[in-house]
Amino acid sequence: MAVLKTFLYLVVYPGLLFLFVYATFVEWFDRKVYARLQNRMGPTHTGRAGILQPIADFVKLMAKEDVVPDLADKKLFSALPVVGLAIVITAGLLLPVWHIDPAVSGPISFPGDVIVLLYLLSLPTLVLFLAGWSSTNAFSIIGGTRTLTMLFGYEVPLFLAVLSPAVLAGSWRLAEIAAFYRAHPLLILPNLIGFGVALVAVQAKLERTPFDIPHAETEIVGGTFTEYSGKKLAFFRLMADIELVVSAGLLATVFLGGFGGGFIFAFVQFILKTLAVVFLLSTLRAVTGRIRVDQVVTFAWKWLAPLAVLQLLIVILIKGFAL
């Protein structure tokens, strides 16, 4: 039974299959919201209201010719998309979506999993940098360096913002943090600053406008992905989509009280909360223009980092005096 459950967990829910389907759905949702905010239609034809469009795009890319540049480090170049995809799916497994007994520690829920999840989410950035670097294309290299430069900006604020609720909850385990906030819903409010900081930082991590600098098409063509095509590009795109889901799931777990209750209820909560986060991210994407890479770093250290520290301070004060 336990083997079957683990198998289900890995392959079906919330593993490979669910993440794939849900990631494409979230991409559709993101595109649709983005389009509607811009008074456009968005995808309309593949499936009902274009819901299958991301899958169609994926299949199309899988069928396309796969070109590896002659000068590229071929092994690294080919391995990176798979590695990136594997990393984000692993990160997805750590989300406490299945009903987990907070008392029992296991391979998918253990004290410190929030840290592991955060670091797993940092790895794709490195993968993108290596992808840019190994393509040996001028545009890719610039894209890669921009990815790393941005990392210095948003990473620390993101960690501080996500860890503050954990400090308040007094646990390094996602399931426990979520359970704590479900038990004390009012304590979600002091974390609002952190939520805002984390939203912006996640936007930067996902390289979406206004932080889509590493693949700003009008400046450096495809940026990191310039040389990628076919299956590898499809994997990278899927990676970005799953990363979006996992990041939204992380924010929903840490800031919005996670997904409690029975299996069905938890599932519905997961969908609703992640979609709410994705909606906020899409709106942020629609409402801003791209900024420059130096502006990202300035912005992150001038605004995000102090706000994140402020959040930590608030949390510590509350913990010291109120609880």
Partner 1 sequence: MKIAAFLPELLRHLFKKPATIDYPFKKIPVPKGFRGTPFLHSEICIVCKACERDCPAEAIEITSVNEAEKRFRMVIHNDRCIHCAQCVDSCPTVPVKAMEMDSLHEIAGFDRHDMKKSWEYIRALPKRPAPAAPAAPAQPAAEATEKAGA
Partner 2 sequence: MKFNIPIGPQHPALKEPISIRLTVEGEVIRDADLRLGYNHRGLEKLAEEKSWIQNIYLTERICGICSHSHATCFVQGAEKLLEIEPPRRGIYLRYLVSELERIHSHLLWLGVAGHEAGFDTFFMYTWRDREVVMDLLEMISGNRVHYAINTLGGVRRDLDESLRKKILEGLAVLKTRSEYYYKIGAMEPTFIGRLAGVGRLTKQQAMDFCAVGPMARASGVDRDVRKNDPHTFYNEVEFDIATADTCDVLGRTVVRIKELFESYKICEQILHKLPDGPVAVKAPRKAKPNEVVSRYEAPRGENIHYIVSNGSEKPERLKVRAPTLANYPATVEILKHGFIADIPLIFAAIDPCICCAERSVELIDSRSGEERTLRFSDLRRMANERARILPLQRNVAWPF
Pick 35 or 79: Cβ nearer partner 1: 35
**Closest CB to partner 2 among residues 182, 292:** 292
For helices 230-255 and 192-205, the axis angle rounded to 10 degrees is: 170
DSSP 46-86: SSGGGTTHHHHHHHHHHHS-----TTS-HHHHHHHHHHHHH
**Quick check: helix, strand or coil at residue 103?**
coil
- If binding is defined by CB under 8 A, does position 289 make contact with partner 2? yes
What is the spatial distance between Cα 197 and Cα 202, in angstroms, rounded to a whole number?
9
Site for partner 1 (CB under 8 A): which residue of 37, 193, 310, 314?
37
Alpha carbon distance 213, 290 (integer Å):
7
Q: Closest approach of Cβ 35 to partner 1, in Å?
A: 7
Residue 298 interacting with partner 1 (CB under 8 A): no
Question: Cβ distance 153 to 138 under 8 Å?
Answer: no
Q: State which of residues 7, 11, 12, 36 lies at the interface with partner 1 (CB under 8 A).
A: 36
Is residue 35 a contact point for partner 1 (CB under 8 A)? yes
* 186 vs 218 by CB, closer to partner 2: 218
Which of the 8 DSSP states describes residue 206?
Answer: T
Instruction: Tell me how far, at minimum, the Cβ of 90 lies from partner 2, in Å.
Output: 31
Site size for partner 1, by CB under 8 A?
A: 13
Q: Is residue 138 part of the contact set for partner 2 (CB under 8 A)?
A: yes
CA separation for the pair 305, 84 (Å, rounded): 27
- Residue 299, both tokens: 């912005």
CB closer to partner 2, 138 vs 316: 138
44 binds partner 2, rule: CB under 8 A:
no
CB of 157 to partner 2, least distance (A): 16
Looking at the Cβ atoms of 87 and 200, the one nearer to partner 1 is: 200
Among 6, 78, 105, 288, binds partner 2 (CB under 8 A): 288
Q: Is 39 in the site for partner 2 (CB under 8 A)?
A: yes
Among positions 33, 178, 233, 246, the unique one binding partner 1 when judged by CB under 8 A: 33
Task: Show Cβ contacts of residue 98 under 8 Å, excluding neighbours closer than 6 positions.
Answer: 9, 13, 14, 263, 266
Q: Which of 241, 224, 213 is nearest to 128 (CA)?
A: 224
Interaction with partner 1 in 210-239: which residues (CB under 8 A)?
none
Q: Does position 31 bind partner 2 by CB under 8 A?
A: no
DSSP class of residue 237? H
Which residue in the set 86, 221, 271, 310 belongs to the binding site for partner 2 (CB under 8 A)?
Answer: 221
CB 71 within 8 A of CB 136: yes
Q: Does 193 bind partner 1 (CB under 8 A)?
A: no
The tokens describing 30, both together, are 């993101």
142 touches partner 2 by CB under 8 A? yes
**CA distance linking residue 10 with residue 219, whole number of Å:** 40
* Residue span binding partner 1 (CB under 8 A) among the ranges 37-45, 64-72, 112-120, 254-262: 37-45
Question: How would you label 191-214 residue by residue, b for 16+ Cβ within 10 Å and e otherwise?
Answer: bebbbbbbbbbbbbbbbbbbbbbb
Asked whether position 318 contacts partner 2 by CB under 8 A, the answer is no
Site residues (CB under 8 A) for partner 1, limited to 44-63: 44
Interaction of residue 156 with partner 1, rule CB under 8 A: no
CB of 205 to partner 2, least distance (A): 17
Which positions lie near partner 1, rule CB under 8 A? 33, 35-41, 44, 283, 286-288
